[in-house]
């Protein structure tokens, strides 16, 4: 599939606005091989009939924010990017990506998981078990232990892939991840115990419903817009998504553990995100 890709440096070095006259910039603030890239690429495909689309690779808050600042000086420029609730919103560049009522388009909510190896006799309700963590899930487990009195030996991994492999290889009894992509790829070898959100998801019970007072982690991927025609862009995204053969619809339909509100963006998820992840 052909796509017009611009790397962040190319835009930052541009000296004339003529070089930046695309109708709509879709900015991938994640890695080139990640979930964010897959979703943004799908939207690039779906929105081509409506706009002259240019796809920009700009991994991380700093590069994405730099692009957005540059595009502010381009007449009629519009852009879409995505920002996760796991961003560090105390960082001034990440703060530019923080969803608010003016920029918010819609969200994907995903459920982090606690899981073990299929057939394992490990008991999550007894102290002494080992649990693989990454990101800030040490704080989540500490908060859970404070409620239940059950203590775990935490083993840190670099990412969710490492946590999943740690469980599969028998290095730890349990794993906890924010991104469950690796779990779903190995679903036949693993057993999910709980999801971290406040609702059951994909047949997996909510931890907070099963254990009174347990911490809750609702995870959001927010699509945000910069420009002067948000209502029109959202309407075209909804039209494309609901066309029956859209790349964005196919992606979300095949991605386990995700739910979306593209057709009901005023359903309260933005307020939930702001309440649970306040600007620091």
Residue 242: name the closest of 46, 49, 55 by CA: 46
Residues comprising the chain, all counted: 280
The string of pLDDT tens digits covering residues 52-63 is 999 999 999 999
Q: How confident is the model at residue 14 (pLDDT cuts 50, 70, 90)?
A: very low
Given a cut of 90, is residue 183 above it in pLDDT? yes
Dihedral angle computed from the Cα positions of residues 160, 211, 213 and 257, in that order, rounded to the nearest 10 degrees: 40
| pLDDT tens for each residue of 207-254 | 999 999 999 999 999 999 999 999 999 999 999 999 988 999 999 998
Q: How confident is the model at residue 21 (pLDDT cuts 50, 70, 90)?
A: very low
Q: Which of 122, 157, 110, 119 is nearest to 138 (CA)?
A: 157
Q: What is the CATH number that goes with domain 113-210?
A: 3.40.190.10
DSSP state of 45: H
- Using left for φ > 0, alpha for ψ between -120 and 50, and beta otherwise, residue 170 falls in left
Percent of the chain scoring above 90 in pLDDT: 81
Closest by CA to 80, choosing from 95, 93, 94, 99, is 99
Q: 5-110+218-276 architecture in CATH?
A: 3-Layer(aba) Sandwich (3.40)
Residue 250 near residue 46 (C-beta atoms within 8 A): no
pTM for the full predicted model: 0.81
- The residues spanned by each domain of the chain are 5-110+218-276, 113-210
For residue 254, the surrounding DSSP H or E stretch is helix 247-254
What are the E-state strand segments in 130-173?
A: 130-133, 153-156
5-110+218-276 and 113-210, same CATH topology: yes
Say if residue 146's pLDDT is above 50: yes
Taking only the tens place, the pLDDT of each residue in 45-88 is 999 999 999 999 999 999 999 999 999 998 889 999 999 998 99
């Amino acid at each position: 599939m052909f796509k017009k890709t611009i790397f962040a440096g190319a835009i930052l070095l541009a000296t004339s606005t003529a070089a930046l006259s695309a109708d709509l910039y879709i900015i991938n603030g994640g890695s080139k091989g990640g979930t964010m890239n897959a979703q943004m690429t799908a939207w690039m495909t779906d929105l081509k009939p409506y706009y002259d689309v240019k796809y920009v690779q700009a991994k991380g808050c700093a590069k994405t924010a730099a692009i957005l600042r540059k595009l502010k000086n381009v007449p009629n420029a519009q852009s879409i990017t995505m920002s996760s609730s796991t961003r560090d919103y105390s960082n001034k560049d990440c703060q530019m990506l923080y969803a608010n009522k003016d920029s918010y388009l819609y969200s994907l909510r995903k459920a982090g998981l606690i899981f073990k190896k299929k057939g394992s006799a490990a008991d999550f309700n007894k102290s002494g078990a080992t649990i693989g963590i990454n990101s800030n899930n040490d704080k989540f487990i500490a908060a859970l232990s404070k409620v239940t009195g059950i203590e775990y030996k935490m083993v840190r991994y670099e990412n969710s892939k490492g946590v999943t492999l740690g469980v599969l290889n028998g290095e730890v009894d349990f794993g906890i991840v924010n991104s469950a992509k690796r779990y779903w790829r190995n679903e036949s070898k693993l057993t999910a115990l709980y999801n971290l959100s406040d609702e059951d998801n994909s047949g997996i019970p909510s931890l907070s419903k099963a254990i009174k007072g347990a911490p809750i982690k609702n995870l959001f991927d927010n699509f945000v817009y910069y420009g002067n025609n948000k209502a029109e862009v959202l309407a075209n995204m909804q039209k494309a998504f609901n066309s029956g053969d859209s790349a964005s619809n196919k992606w979300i339909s095949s991605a386990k553990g995700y739910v979306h509100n593209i057709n009901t963006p005023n359903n309260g998820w933005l307020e939930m995100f702001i309440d649970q992840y306040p600007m620091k």
